A and B are shown apart, each in its own frame.
Chain A
Amino acid sequence: MEEGCMINSNFLGISLFMRCLRMLVRILVLLYLAGAPALAQTLCQPNASNGCRVRISIKTALGNQAYEWNENEMFLFRATMAFAMRRYYKTETYNVDNIIMCNQTLRVSFWFVVTSPENSTMLIPKADVEKAVRMSRHRINNAFLLTDRTLEFLGIHPTLAAPVNPDTPPWLIVFGVVIGAVFAGIIALLVSSLLQKRRKEKGMMEDGQDEEDRQMKGVENDNVLDGIYNRGFTDDDRFTKL
């Protein structure tokens, strides 16, 4: 009889143990399920070292055609960020769940962190997130119809467009045209007056236009203006008495 009781008690102990184990597993699962969002929440904190702040100004960018920022847009953002991470790491493991957002304000600004697809408690360092965003910045902006200034990732400065350096600066081209025209004009004037002088020297035509000849040689031809002013009349007044 003693052996039967012992076997019975052993059997009871094992089933109790199994039951306890099952309950423990259930509690753990429940805890895990309950705790996961809480864990995610602790992952995403404002001013966290690996978190990134985003500020969006839809009305400034689009004015009358501004869309409303709601859950769907948030989802698009997470998808876009996952796309950026995939593009940067060249892997296909990133998913929407890896982007966690928090602390959304009316301004439309929020914080987000990126978790690693292998280990959901591990965050991707900020530097890598920055590089990923920089690489796909243009695509992210276009997904939201925004620009670098209206979709701001605080701390990630937009790379400015490289200055376009043409071979000849455009101003030189305009300068060249103008100075060429002026030079041509000067040459034309000089040559035309030279030709006129030569024509006059040949005596072919009476030229009334060449003034500086007269100035140089004095009155040299019979082309007289209306009267020569005779200073003789006022000569006594000409020099102030000393």
Chain B
Amino acid sequence: MGKDAARAEWDNPMQFVLACVSYAVGLGNVWRFPYLCQMHGGGGFLIPYLLMLVLLGVPLFYMELAIGQKMRLGSIGAWRAISPYLGGVGLASVVTSMYLCLYYNVINAWSFWYLFHSFQSVLPWAECPVNSNLTGHVEECERATPTQYFFYRETLDISGSIEENGGIHMGQALCLLLAWMIVYLFIVKGVKSTGKVVYFTATFPYLVLIIYLIRGVTLHGAINGVKYMFTPKMEQLANPTTWINAATQIFFSLGLGFGSLIAFASYNQYNNNFEKQAIVVSMVNSSTSIFASIVTFSIYGFKATFNYESCLERVRLLLLNTFDLAEDTISLENVNHWIAELNRTHPEQFASLGGRLETCDLEAELDTAVEGTGLAFIVYSEAIKNMPVSQLWSVLYFIMLLLLGMGSMLGNVIAVITPLSDLKFISRYMSTKTLNGLVCLFCLLLGLGFTTRSGNYWFTMFNDYGATFSLLFIVLIEVITVCYIYGIKRFEKDVEDMLGHRLNWYWKIMLAGVSPILLITLFIFYIVNYIQGGTPTYQAWNKELGKSVVTEYPPYAQAFIGLLLASSVCCIPLTALYTYCKKRNLASGKRERTVSTVSA
């Protein structure tokens, strides 16, 4: 049947490449990679990172693009075509993508919230708000910092633990509605609209990153951060966690296993040269990570230097006030000299200072490594508020976060919609627009749960458990299926059919040998880590103390974590069982009727 001819396509291969770049280059490049770089020895981390890119990232990326382009179907149809028993792999991908869709757009909602709040003369996270009787600042804000207060109290209105639910935060709900409306706007006409949008979402973040790079390295003290990042600490390479984290970062950063790449590639022309494109996109993704971490570290350096100098200023004032010295006797440079001097000359008075005298350490400030939403919304906004013309930098920064997040959301949503629209019984009754609208509405309604007062804790749970373990399993099954069940020979033939030349020995060795071994190692490591970790915990915000405390998940939350993990992983064996039973029914003499929901 000529259904293939009716399938939508990208206008040109450039749109496909930009879509992949827009999807792969996401928030993880900005907030996870710099953290890993800092934790695992600065410049030295690039070695395991680039090695894993070559061994694991590029071959798997290549494989997913090949499958999508060959089968010209979304993940469910494609995997069912490869092996009917393992059609569950596609279903598991869709389930995982659905989880990701639910919680990922909440980050975009936060970015919108911060973006809209940047249009004020004084950024709201720059100062603590005044309390009701105008005598001082709000207590919670005094104990924490203004940026933390703005994030936890005004943005999230977070409760004390995951058990304490609350109402929906209306501002968050509105921003989430806006985020989903924009996603719908981008995908409403399928790849025709997505193809035009990715020109913008893939390129504009680079423009902002360049502007930020120039601003970042010219900030006072930025060089401290960049130097700190690039001094390699080679002894970290001996730590196996470094290699595990490098592999995991490559794996998740490229977005393997979600079905998005298969979906994107399914809209390609049959003879598209995806080999070159796979290499290009992977390289672009990794270089963006490194580029973004230079920007992040220059901003870290600025923030650390600013805090260090503020600390010195506070100590200087304390000394001046306690010993009643004239103002210009102590300057920022000779504070430490004066501390020693005053300790020697006035020991009793010095002792009376007691705990009020802080030690100011630049290294300690630089050592505070943060990742994830904490980095993006707390640390960065703290650095931005101290820049001159902070409103402009704030707006630029959050627009960049939005574009990165939206680009990744496009991939996530398309990964869910493409397999659904391939199913005959859906495509018969609904147009793509209606299907897209229903999926967006469904995700919006469920996503409102993340805008409640305890929503951030559920968000963290989804973030940590929703997609990590299941993805490893899915991709492991994918590689084993393609190489051993479908057969590497048949795969080679398919690729030759599409590209015109045979598979290189590099691809064959990596796909059949190295990648599965690495994936199995990662998988085992995850299981061991999970078991050894004991009861899963999370960071709960304590408003009395003004900081996060480690709290254990209650039993029902732990059960939910198990459900999250099981629901996507179980699709694979359950579908295999279902197919087996169906085949047995057919073989037991029933009228042969190919019930196929695969558009062939």
**Residues of chain A whose beta carbon lies under 8 Å from any beta carbon of chain B:** 55, 57-60, 105-109, 157, 159-163, 170-172, 174-175, 178-179, 182-183, 185-186, 189-190, 193, 209, 211-212, 214-216, 218-219, 224-225, 228-229, 231, 237-240, 242
The CA of A209 and the CA of B8, in the complex, are separated in Å by 10
Q: Is the CB of B136 within 8 A of A238?
A: no
Of A58, A160, A175, which is within 8 A of B174 by CB? A175
Of B83, B321, B325, B328, which is within 8 A of A240 by CB? B83
| Given A159-B134, A212-B8, A240-B83, residue A182 in contact with residue B490 (CB < 8 A) | no
Of B112, B135, B193, B320, which is within 8 A of A107 by CB? B320
B81 within 8 A of A: yes
Closest to B70 in A: A234
Of B113, B136, B178, B184, which is within 8 A of A160 by CB? B136
Besides A182-B182, A211-B191, 9 more A-B contacts (Cβ < 8 Å) are A161-B130, A171-B119, A175-B174, A178-B178, A190-B433, A212-B189, A215-B8, A219-B2, A240-B85
> What are 18 pairs between A and B in contact, CB < 8 Å?
A55-B321, A57-B327, A59-B327, A106-B324, A108-B327, A160-B134, A162-B130, A163-B129, A170-B116, A171-B117, A171-B120, A175-B174, A189-B189, A209-B192, A211-B8, A229-B4, A238-B600, A240-B485
B344 within 8 A of A: no
In the complex, chain B residues whose CB is within 8 Å of the CB of A170: 116-117, 119-120
Q: Is the CB of A215 within 8 A of B7?
A: yes
From residue B162, how far is it (CB to closest CB) to chain A in Å? 28
B146 within 8 A of A: no
| Given A109-B324, A215-B7, residue A242 in contact with residue B189 (CB < 8 A) | no
| Given A59-B327, A189-B188, residue A238 in contact with residue B1 (CB < 8 A) | no
The CA of A239 and the CA of B87, in the complex, are separated in Å by 12
| Given A171-B119, A189-B193, residue A225 in contact with residue B178 (CB < 8 A) | no
In the complex, chain A residues whose CB is within 8 Å of the CB of B135: 157, 159-160
In the complex, chain B residues whose CB is within 8 Å of the CB of A216: 427-428, 431
Q: Is the CB of B6 within 8 A of A190?
A: no
In the complex, chain A residues whose CB is within 8 Å of the CB of B7: 215
Q: Is the CB of A229 within 8 A of B270?
A: yes
**Residues of chain B whose beta carbon lies under 8 Å from any beta carbon of chain A:** 1-8, 81-85, 112-113, 115-117, 119-120, 129-130, 134-137, 171, 174-175, 177-178, 181-182, 184-185, 188-193, 270, 320-321, 324-328, 421, 427-428, 431-433, 485-486, 490, 583, 600
The CA of A228 and the CA of B270, in the complex, are separated in Å by 11
Q: Is the CB of B84 within 8 A of A239?
A: yes
Q: Is the CB of B113 within 8 A of A171?
A: yes
In the complex, chain B residues whose CB is within 8 Å of the CB of A161: 130
> Chain B CB within 10 Å — which of A59, A172, A182 has the most?
A182
The CA of A108 and the CA of B137, in the complex, are separated in Å by 28
The CA of A162 and the CA of B133, in the complex, are separated in Å by 9
Q: Is the CB of A175 within 8 A of B182?
A: no
A-B pairs, top 4 by smallest CB distance, nearest first, are A214-B6, A171-B116, A105-B324, A211-B8
Q: Is the CB of B181 within 8 A of A179?
A: yes
The CA of A234 and the CA of B8, in the complex, are separated in Å by 23
Of A57, A60, A190, A231, which is within 8 A of B188 by CB? A190
The CA of A190 and the CA of B181, in the complex, are separated in Å by 13
In the complex, chain B residues whose CB is within 8 Å of the CB of A106: 324-326
In the complex, chain A residues whose CB is within 8 Å of the CB of B320: 107
From residue A55, how far is it (CB to closest CB) to chain B in Å? 7
Q: Is the CB of B113 within 8 A of A240?
A: no
| Given A171-B116, A183-B181, A189-B189, residue A215 in contact with residue B84 (CB < 8 A) | no
Q: Is the CB of B185 within 8 A of A186?
A: yes
Closest to A197 in B: B431
Q: Is the CB of A186 within 8 A of B184?
A: yes
Q: Is the CB of A108 within 8 A of B119?
A: no
From residue B329, how far is it (CB to closest CB) to chain A in Å? 8
Closest to B175 in A: A175
The CA of A239 and the CA of B115, in the complex, are separated in Å by 51
In the complex, chain B residues whose CB is within 8 Å of the CB of A109: 321, 324
The CA of A209 and the CA of B117, in the complex, are separated in Å by 40
The CA of A171 and the CA of B136, in the complex, are separated in Å by 25
The CA of A225 and the CA of B328, in the complex, are separated in Å by 81
Q: Is the CB of A219 within 8 A of B82?
A: no
Closest to A171 in B: B116
From residue B247, how far is it (CB to closest CB) to chain A in Å? 30
The CA of A239 and the CA of B583, in the complex, are separated in Å by 13
